[in-house]
Amino acid sequence: MNKNTVLAWATFIMIFVGFALIALGAFRYDEVAGWGFASVGIGFFAIAWVFNALKGRV
């Protein structure tokens, strides 16, 4: 596996975990904790976007 493949897998995993955290925040926790889970999920999307932008440049 080269660097681009590793970044692609990292991006995929980060997107999956981001969706899981947003789903937990939306469906599992109805209190303030749900907002925290959803905001961390959005943060995972931001990091996955950076990983995707780094493909081919590192």
* Domain layout of the chain by residue ranges: 3-54
> For the segment 5-55, what is each residue's pLDDT rounded down to a tens digit?
998 999 999 999 999 999 999 998 888 889 999 999 999 999 999 988 988
Q: What is the pLDDT of residue 31?
A: 87
More confident position, 48 or 56: 48
Q: Which amino acid is residue 40, in one-letter code?
A: V
pLDDT tier at 58 (50, 70, 90 boundaries)?
Answer: confident
Q: What is the pLDDT of residue 3?
A: 86
- In whole angstroms, what is the distance from residue 33 CA to residue 19 CA? 16
Q: What is the pLDDT of residue 1?
A: 83
Cα angle, residue 13 at apex, residues 12 and 18 outer, rounded to 5°: 100
